């Protein structure tokens, strides 16, 4: 199976385009687990398949490293857009990508060599609160507590296609992410698990961000998580409508348009191409 490994701010996936290669006759969840394995596979945060779409210019499907399929992936969308443009799957710089959560619009930024170093994705509008994400707890509203070892950890529930629990902290702490992140991700109140974000506001236009991703654990960056966090903080009046998000792997620029659409701009990088022997 021909693949391309790409990353965006260090959030790396194995990308397979069914336009250019055949998928093995293996369950794709199993394939995702195998290619993601850092010792016996390629090593990645998951698997992304690029396919033709009936409703958009291309279609993206994403599996986390543990084989669970997610609805969307912000960093993945930027890499899919770069791949689609550079491989001639589309012939224009603005095009649509179908995800499990709906269709988004991509705008590639093209350098003087015809390559795409960065991409803007219109991620659509965020939805907030206990009815926006799979949640079986007894609280209502945007913010809910989850009981972690007898202590209530509060977070804002946000959907940007996939589910997020955004916790406000004084400063981001990688040990806390590792200690609390997995317990939020797999908390019984979230029957489909959840992505756990920890965010600290530095100013109205800058936040620090860490994530424990559903199905992949600590990653260097989460595009949907960054969008969800800025949307949640803007709703509370804590940030404005142009925010730089500092992630472990680098920065993302998030703009909130007046109509509520979230525009995410950041890098997309090709690492290598290869053949995976199934
Ligand atoms: N890294 C991604 C999100 C990938 C999916 C997520 N782990 C989920 O299960 O919802 C991003 O950049 O958005």
CATH of the domain at 132: 3.10.310.10
- The answer on 105 and 10 residing in a single domain is yes
Asked whether residue 245 is domain-assigned, the answer is yes
- The answer on 131 and 19 residing in a single domain is no
- The answer on 163 and 67 residing in a single domain is no
Whether 99 is in the pocket of ligand 1, judged by its Cβ within 6 Å, is no
Asked whether residue 152 is domain-assigned, the answer is yes
Asked whether residue 178 is domain-assigned, the answer is yes
Can you say which residues are annotated as belonging to the binding site?
11, 64, 74-75, 162, 195, 213-214, 223-224
Please give the pLDDT value at position 240: 98
Please state the ipTM of this predicted complex: 0.99
- The answer on 98 and 139 residing in a single domain is no
Ordered alpha helix ranges (H), 134-210: 174-185
- The answer on 104 and 37 residing in a single domain is yes
Nearest to 239 by CA among 204, 202, 271: 204
Question: How do residues 118-149 score in pLDDT, each as one tens digit?
Answer: 999 999 999 999 999 999 999 999 999 999 99
- The answer on 271 and 244 residing in a single domain is no
Asked whether residue 247 is domain-assigned, the answer is yes
- The answer on 40 and 158 residing in a single domain is no
Asked whether residue 259 is domain-assigned, the answer is no
Question: How do residues 18-56 score in pLDDT, each as one tens digit?
Answer: 999 999 989 999 999 999 999 999 999 999 999 999 999
Asked whether residue 260 is domain-assigned, the answer is no
Domain that holds residue 41: 2-124+266-275
Cα–ligand 1 centroid distance for 113 (angstroms) = 30
Please give the pLDDT value at position 163: 98
Ordered alpha helix ranges (H), 186-271: 223-235
- The answer on 51 and 163 residing in a single domain is no
Question: How do residues 168-220 score in pLDDT, each as one tens digit?
Answer: 999 999 999 999 999 999 999 999 999 999 999 999 999 999 999 999 999 99
Can you say which residues are annotated as belonging to the binding site for substrate?
11, 64, 74-75, 162, 195, 213-214, 223-224
Secondary structure percentages of the chain, helix, strand, coil, to 5: 15, 40, 40
Cα–ligand 1 centroid distance for 247 (angstroms) = 14
Whether 216 is in the pocket of ligand 1, judged by its Cβ within 6 Å, is yes
Q: Taking residues 105-117, what's their average pLDDT?
A: 97
Cα torsion 45, 50, 51, 53: sign: positive
C-beta separation of 61 from 49 below 8 A = yes
- The answer on 180 and 231 residing in a single domain is yes
Whether 123 is in the pocket of ligand 1, judged by its Cβ within 6 Å, is no
Asked whether residue 261 is domain-assigned, the answer is no
Whether 44 is in the pocket of ligand 1, judged by its Cβ within 6 Å, is no
- Domain count of the fold of the chain: 2
- The answer on 147 and 106 residing in a single domain is no
73 is an active site residue: yes
Please give the pLDDT value at position 220: 98
Question: Probe ligand 1: pick from 6, 9, 45, 62, max atoms within 8 Å of CB?
Answer: 62
Q: Is the pTM of this model over 0.80?
A: yes
- The answer on 238 and 159 residing in a single domain is yes
- The answer on 39 and 15 residing in a single domain is yes
Q: Taking residues 73-97, what's their average pLDDT?
A: 98
Question: Probe ligand 1: pick from 224, 225, 245, max atoms within 8 Å of CB?
Answer: 224
C-beta separation of 139 from 129 below 8 A = no
DSSP category for residue 237 = T
């Amino acid at each position: 199976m021909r693949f391309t490994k790409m990353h965006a701010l260090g959030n790396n996936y194995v990308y397979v385009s069914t336009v250019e290669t055949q998928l093995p006759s293996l369950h794709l969840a199993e394939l995702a687990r195998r290619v993601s394995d850092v010792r016996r596979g390629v090593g990645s945060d998951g698997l992304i398949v690029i396919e033709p779409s009936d409703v958009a210019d291309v279609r993206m499907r994403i599996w986390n490293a543990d084989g669970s399929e997610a609805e969307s992936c912000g960093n993945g969308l930027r890499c899919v857009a770069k791949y689609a443009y550079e491989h001639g799957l589309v012939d224009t710089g603005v095009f649509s990508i179908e995800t499990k959560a709906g269709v988004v619009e991509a705008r590639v930024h093209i350098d003087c060599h015809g390559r795409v170093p960065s991409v803007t994705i219109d991620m659509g509008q965020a939805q907030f609160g206990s009815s926006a994400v799979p949640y079986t707890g007894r609280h209502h509203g945007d913010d809910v507590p989850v009981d972690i070892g007898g202590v209530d950890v509060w977070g804002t529930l946000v959907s940007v296609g996939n589910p997020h629990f955004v916790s406000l902290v004084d400063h981001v702490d990688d040990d806390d992410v590792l200690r609390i992140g997995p317990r939020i991700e797999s908390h019984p109140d979230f029957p489909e698990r959840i992505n756990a974000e920890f965010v600290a506001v530095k100013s109205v236009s800058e936040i620090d961000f860490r994530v424990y991703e559903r199905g992949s654990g600590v990653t260097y960056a989460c595009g949907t998580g960054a969008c969800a966090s800025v949307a949640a903080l803007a709703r509370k009046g804590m940030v404005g409508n142009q925010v730089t998000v500092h992630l472990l792997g680098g920065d993302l620029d998030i703009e909130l348009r007046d109509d509520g659409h979230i525009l995410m701009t950041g890098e997309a990088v090709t690492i290598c191409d290869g053949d995976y022997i199934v």
